[in-house]
Amino acid sequence: MKDYLHATNNLYTQAALTPDVGLCCTTTPIWKFPGLDIPKKMLEMNYGCGSTISLQDLSNSPKVLYVGVGGGMELLQFAYFSRFPNAIIGVDVVDEMLEACAQNLQEAQKINPWLNTNFVELRKGDALNLPVQDASVDVAAQNCLFNIFKTEELKKALQEMYRVLKPGGRLVMSDPICEQEMNEELRNNDHLRALCLSGSIPLKDYIKALTDVGFGTIEIRARRPYRILDTENYPTSENIFIESVEVCAIKDPMPADGACVFTGKAAIFYGKDDFFDDGKGHTLFKNQPLAICDKTALALANLNRKDIFISESTFHYNGGGCC
Ligand SMILES: C[S@@+](CC[C@H](N)C(=O)[O-])C[C@H]1O[C@@H](n2cnc3c(N)ncnc32)[C@H](O)[C@@H]1O
């Protein structure tokens, strides 16, 4: 096993034995649904940097795989929507984390009358070699784990998620990203990498890693400030700004002209006619914003029309639109 993966296992063994409230931080609200109570220890062990829980993915009681269980809070939140035995498979490589997660779920069962711990099946396993059958889950999720992986492992981890998803299934992820160059000292610091501070990559590379393994649709659902690596406390000569993103990658067939990536752009037609039809399946009704993927945004921009406005990316896409 590579050194940085060893360092990661060691760090999360400690984080399982002694909850570390400041380990990862998120400005995403903790979703508390009606009738859902989250045990204090689960909250203390929230080691994610966003949320992978989105209502649009969770109708019809999906079968869910969650990789890198942490204290189990998101497994509990997924179980809220899928209430049947073994609905949620939780995979983790650290025994102590699986043990802590199991205990936290027992606590959760005491305060949530609807919950049966048998909704969640915990399995020892590695994100790089998932103990899960091909095409067997509707939703696969990971929060703040894949950013730790270097290029080769990230590719393997994404291939594994793609393999286990059913056609049309969704990979939901939350991870830090960073648009600035990080020096080699930061990149090669195994401890900072394990802390989710020095592995993050630019958003376009993160998206490319997803489309390279075959995901045909990508949705950027949220993008938020996350951390500063400052010159006083980290080996860097300039402050480095890290953001976090929430992304959904859908196992749709890959379009011939490349994946549809929704980053929150919209087109508005404001010409003389009632609508504009580009002849390629996109109809813009007058003064009605239409969510468009980045490919369509570029194609419409290339028409150079004075009566079509194309917005910047909001990085807040929640469905609907052109494709
Ligand atoms: C930053 S924590 C995130 C925990 C959880 N997802 C959350 O949001 O609170 C990373 C988790 O991934 C687990 N982990 C680390 N390396 C792993 C691997 N190679 N395969 C599976 N899980 C791993 C750790 O034990 C830990 O539970």
Q: Among 80-94, 187-201, 308-322, where is mean pLDDT lowest?
A: 308-322
Write the residue with the smallest CA distance to atom 9 of ligand 1.
Answer: 47
Contacts of 86 (CB under 8 A, 6+ apart): 118, 119, 120, 121
Please identify, by atom number, the ligand 1 atom nearest to the C-alpha of residue 143: 6
Average pLDDT of the chain?
Answer: 96
- Rounded Cα distance between 290 and 298, Å, is 14
- Rounded Cα distance between 256 and 203, Å, is 23
- 161 pocket-lining for ligand 1 (C-beta < 6 Å): no
> What is the per-residue pLDDT for 127?
98
- 293 pocket-lining for ligand 1 (C-beta < 6 Å): no
- 222 pocket-lining for ligand 1 (C-beta < 6 Å): no
Please provide the size of the chain in residues. Answer: 323
Among 18, 75, 145, which residue has the most ligand 1 atoms within 8 Å of its CB, making it the best to mutate?
145
pLDDT bracket for residue 318 (50, 70, 90): confident
- 68 pocket-lining for ligand 1 (C-beta < 6 Å): yes
Write the residue with the smallest CA distance to atom 13 of ligand 1.
Answer: 68
- 70 pocket-lining for ligand 1 (C-beta < 6 Å): yes
Please give the C-alpha separations between residue 45 and each of 40, 80, 101, 158, in angstroms, as whole numbers. 9, 19, 9, 25
| pLDDT higher than threshold 90 for residue 79 | yes
> What is the per-residue pLDDT for 255?
95
CA of 97 to the centre of ligand 1 (A): 8
| pLDDT higher than threshold 90 for residue 10 | yes
> What is the per-residue pLDDT for 72?
98
| 9-31 average pLDDT score | 83
Please identify, by atom number, the ligand 1 atom nearest to the C-alpha of residue 126: 20
Q: What percent of the chain has pLDDT over 90?
A: 93
| pLDDT higher than threshold 90 for residue 30 | no
Long-range contacts of 319-323 (CB under 8 A, 24+ apart): 319/56, 319/219, 319/291, 320/291, 321/262, 321/266, 321/290, 321/291, 321/292, 321/293, 322/267, 322/281, 322/282, 322/290, 322/291, 322/292, 322/293, 322/296, 323/217, 323/255, 323/260, 323/293, 323/296
Q: Which residue, among 1, 14, 50, 18, has the nearest Cα to 191 in the 3D structure?
A: 14
Q: Which residue has the higher pLDDT, 23 or 104?
A: 104
| 292-315 average pLDDT score | 97
Rg (CA), the chain: 21
Predicted structure pTM score: 0.97
Q: Do strands 265-269 and 290-292 pair parallel, antiparallel, or not at all (unpaired)?
A: antiparallel
Q: Which residue, among 180, 269, 179, 165, has the nearest Cα to 217 in the 3D structure?
A: 165
Write the residue with the smallest CA distance to atom 12 of ligand 1.
Answer: 68
Please identify, by atom number, the ligand 1 atom nearest to the C-alpha of residue 174: 8
| 209-223 average pLDDT score | 98
> What is the per-residue pLDDT for 319?
85
Q: Which residue has the higher pLDDT, 115 or 32?
A: 115
- 11 pocket-lining for ligand 1 (C-beta < 6 Å): no
> What is the per-residue pLDDT for 6?
97
| pLDDT higher than threshold 70 for residue 25 | no
CA of 280 to the centre of ligand 1 (A): 43
The single-letter code of the amino acid at 200 is S
Write the residue with the smallest CA distance to atom 5 of ligand 1.
Answer: 70
| pLDDT higher than threshold 80 for residue 82 | yes
- 122 pocket-lining for ligand 1 (C-beta < 6 Å): no
Q: What share of the chain is helix, strand, coil (3-state, %, to 5)?
A: 30, 25, 45
CA of 48 to the centre of ligand 1 (A): 9
| pLDDT digits 0-9 by tens, 232-290 | 999 999 999 999 999 999 999 999 999 999 999 999 999 999 999 999 989 999 999 99
CA of 239 to the centre of ligand 1 (A): 27
DSSP 231: T
> What is the per-residue pLDDT for 20?
77
Pair of tokens at residue 260: 């549809």
| pLDDT higher than threshold 80 for residue 101 | yes
